[in-house]
Structure 1
């Protein structure tokens, strides 16, 4: 083995520890993603996975649980052998996050003294337990040697600016920044990554990507689901903390960033931080004009009746937690000065749908004012993130015939061929953690500046506790969201 390959192999972890292994995040995201990586042949042969949870299970109980989770993926006879190979990686360790002895048992379970001693600690636990887990990892010596092991933190990173700074100080007491992976799964989606190529590898696109040609930008992350037994977390967090501060702000930075000098982790993140630092601060008196919140009432999703948020299990009957949040931001730099960025997210909307919609300005000359084309709709670039991942550009063409009539056609810039498959967001990010690539993870100053941007809104809504607007489940949100627009011809784009 040559020196480069040897160095790479020594950088790979041999242990992957999942804290909260029996929770929803592990069941719905982590275990299926790790299995897909197994299927793709991307996991090293010597990688073992330790499931850490407080349930009184044996390893055999755990393996049966994993089989039940992955049963929908076993559609071919060959998958059974693949599953057995995957299951052979696992050990189950019963432990309590607050019990120091459990961490000492974990340290004893991780093979000491081997040539490959790196470990990934994935905190698939409640944000309230992050500090406890981090401190106990230190007590058991699992943060040593510094610079070796990796710790993965799920969003939200803190619940406001001050708590994020406290959490970061605790992390940096025991881990170096290079060991910390703050994960936002939206950054692992192919469309988001492909946006960098779409912008910076195409000379027909990048010259138009500025205030001279773009009228406004919309970023929508809509969910048809409710809170799904997450009332304990969600009723404290709300849509602003849960989605807008992290997912949507990250999408905004990818749309608005300048080209980095190199495709390196810190170079990419430097440009994203510049965007966040350039966002115009929202004064307390201007919050009402820049942000809207609302809560869903009863309605219908896919023709099925659903209850209101206040009737969800374990939600306070008089709760005013927002399940919809929309905000308008301006980026005061040379590229974007004066261009509004409209962000919105909500639960119990008509369907699961995430999209970046860029609307261009009207042509400067009304060349067709004495024809049937007196008013022409503007051009759009539409980037669908989920459920499908695709790119579209809307342009006008003349309809056949004698009259000057047009129709809008979509130029599909989909990057995925019919015979191609791609890794999902969590698969991509887990592989990056294992391989030590931090490009798609969030540096603390990104998280800190995102909190600084939304902190005025958060504080204003915390004081306003008497009333919250509502919207029917199955709708695209409250009518109040329309007041964010700067002009009458700006409307929310709900469809591709």
Structure 2
């Protein structure tokens, strides 16, 4: 065996512990993603997966549960040698995350050193429970040796700038930074990774990717679903904390970043931090001009009547929590100064879609149509993240006929060939955790600067507690979002 393979095998964990193994995140995302990695033969031969949960189950009970979960989430057959191999990886550990003795028992059942030098601990639990798990891991020595075992945490990373800093101090008290994997599943999506290739591997594109040619950028993450019995979390968080501060801000950094010196974790994240540090601060008096919030009311989606937010189960009476947010940001650097970035996200919108839309400026002279310049259709680059993963380019071509008239044609570049299947973001990210690649994970200074950007909006809304605009479920959000645009010819791009 050559030395590089030896180093790689030493870097791989032999245990993968899931705290909250019977929760929604594990059931809907982690377990199906791990099974797909098994099907693809990407899990190491010696990897053991430990399901940590309070339920009074045996290993057989867990395996029956696992089978029922995967039956609705995966297309592969739940039989044969691959599935049996996947089942054989699992151990079930009944425990309470608040009970340190549960961790002692867990430690006793994990392979000892030197047989196992690394373990992944995935915290598929409420953010409020991160602290107790981290402290209990330290109490029984499962955070040792420092720099070795890996801890994966899900967003939100704090509720504001101050709480994010408190969480980071807690993590660094017991763990080294290279042990912490802050996961944002949007960064694992094929389209987002393809954006890096699209920009930096094509000399056709990168020279145009600046304020001289781009009019504005829109990033939309629209959800047709409601809060789905998550009122306990969502009514305290809202759309700004739940989506914009993390998912949408991360997408913006990938669109706006400079070419990194190498495709390495810290080089990529250095460039994303530069973008966040360059965002123009929003003054208190300017919040109204830069951000819009709203809350959905009764409406119809796909022909079905749906309740308003305040009628959802466990939502506080007269709650002013926003279920929609739109915001405008400027990046004051050499590449982007003066180009507005419009970000929006919301629940109970018309359809489920995630789209990055880049609109280019009009040509300096209109030659081909006897209409004012402002009425010509602009060129767009459209990057669809969901429901499909593809890139579209809208350009002008001549219409057939005797006159020199133009029309817009859409060129579609799907990322997938007909015989290829898209990976789920969690499959990519879980494999990166296992292999120790931190490129698509978030460093704390990214978290901190993202909070610095949105903190003025949060603080302003905390004191404005008398009224919140509304929008009908099944619409594209409140009309107030249109006032963010700098020019009259700018409108929201809802679909491809």
Q: TM-score range by the shorter chain?
A: over 0.9
Query: Residue 19 of structure 1 contacts residue 124 of structure 1 at CA under 8 Å; is this kept in 2?
Result: yes
Q: CA–CA distance in 1 between the matches of 2:189 and 2:407?
A: 32
How far apart are 1:81 and its partner, in Å?
A: 3.1
Instruction: Give the alignment of 1:139-218 within 5 angstroms.
Output: 139-218=139-218
Q: Find the residue that maps to 1:392 and give its secondary structure.
A: strand
- After superposition, the C-alpha distances for 1:188-234 in whole angstroms (9 at most, x for unaligned) are 00000010110011111001100001000000000011011111100
Q: Deviations over 1:92-136 (max 9, x none)?
A: 111111111111111111111243321000000001011111111
Pair 1:355 & 2:355 matched: yes
1:375–1:480 CA distance, 2 compared to 1 (3 A): closer
C-alpha deviation, 1:73, in angstroms: 5.5
Structure-2 separation of matches of 1:74 and 1:197: 29
| Cross-structure match for 1:17 | 17
Q: What CA distance in whole angstroms lies between the structure 1 residues aligned with 2:370 and 2:98?
A: 75
Q: Distance in 2 between matches of 1:134 and 1:57?
A: 25
Contact 2:369 2:404 (C-alpha < 8 Å) held by counterparts: no
Alpha-carbon deviations, 1:151-204, whole Å to 9, x = none? 001000011000000000010011111111000000000000010110011111
Q: Which residue of 1 aligns with 2:240?
A: 240
User: 2:313, 2:131 → 1: CA distance?
Assistant: 28
The normalised TM-score by structure 1 is 0.98
- Between the aligned partners of 1:473 and 1:4, the Cα distance in structure 2 is 55
Structure 1 unaligned residues grouped into runs of 5+: none
2:280 counterpart of 1:277? no
1:404 deviation in Å? 2.4
User: CA 1:21–1:407 in 2, change beyond 3 Å: closer, same or farther?
Assistant: same
Q: Find the counterpart in structure 2 of residue 335 from structure 1.
A: 335
Q: In 2, Cα distance between the equivalents of 1:188 and 1:76? A: 22
Distance 1:89 1:192 in 2: 32
Give the match for residue 439 of structure 2: 439
Equivalent in the alignment of 1:137 = 137
Deviations 1:247-281 (A, max 9, x none): 00000000000000111100000000000000000
Cα distance in 2 for partners of 1:270, 1:344 equals 25
Q: 1:213 to 1:98 in 2, by over 3 A?
A: same
Please name the residue that 1:125 is paired with. Answer: 125
State the shift of 1:371 in Å.
6.7
- Whether contact under 8 Å (2:12, 2:436) holds in the other structure is yes
Q: CA deviation at 1:422?
A: 3.6
Any gaps of 5 or more consecutive residues in structure 2?
A: none
Residues in 2 aligned to 1:377 and 1:70: alpha-carbon distance in whole angstroms: 47
CA contact (8 A) 2:295 2:324 kept: yes
CA shift for structure 1 position 45: 1.0
Tell me the distance in 1 between the aligned counterparts of 2:207 and 2:490.
Answer: 23
- Structure 1 residue 329: deviation in Å? 0.1
Alignment-derived partner of residue 324 in structure 1: 324
Q: How many residues in Structure 1 have an aligned counterpart in Structure 2?
A: 496
Between 23-32 and 79-88, report the one with greater CA deviation.
79-88
**What's the CA shift string for 1:8-60, capped at 9, x where partnerless?**
10110000000011100000000000000001000011100001111121211
Q: Distance in 1 between matches of 2:229 and 2:7?
A: 45
Change (3 A) 1:287 1:92: same
Q: SS where residue 413 of structure 1 aligns?
A: strand
Given that 2:71 and 2:78 are in contact with CA atoms closer than 8 Å, whether structure 1 keeps it comes out as: no
Taking the aligned partners of 1:36 and 1:370, their CA distance within structure 2 comes to: 56
What TM-score, normalized to structure 2? 0.98
| Preserved CA contact (<8 Å) 1:368 1:374 | no
Q: How far 1:7 moved relative to its partner?
A: 1.1
Q: 1:415 to 1:50 in 2, by over 3 A?
A: same
Residues 28 and 73 of structure 2 are in contact (CA less than 8 Å); yes or no, is this contact kept in structure 1? no
Question: For residues 167 and 484 of structure 2, what CA distance do their matches in structure 1 show?
Answer: 33
- Give the secondary-structure state (helix, strand or coil) at the position aligned to 1:217: strand
Report the Cα offset of residue 367 of structure 1.
2.0
- Computed over aligned residues only, the root mean square deviation of the Cα atoms, in angstroms, reads 1.4
- Counterparts in 2 of 1:71-90, with a 5 A limit? 71-72=71-72, 79-90=79-90
1:372 is displaced (CA, Å) by 10
Using the TM superposition, give the Cα deviation of residue 78 of structure 1 relative to its aligned residue in structure 2, in angstroms. 7.4
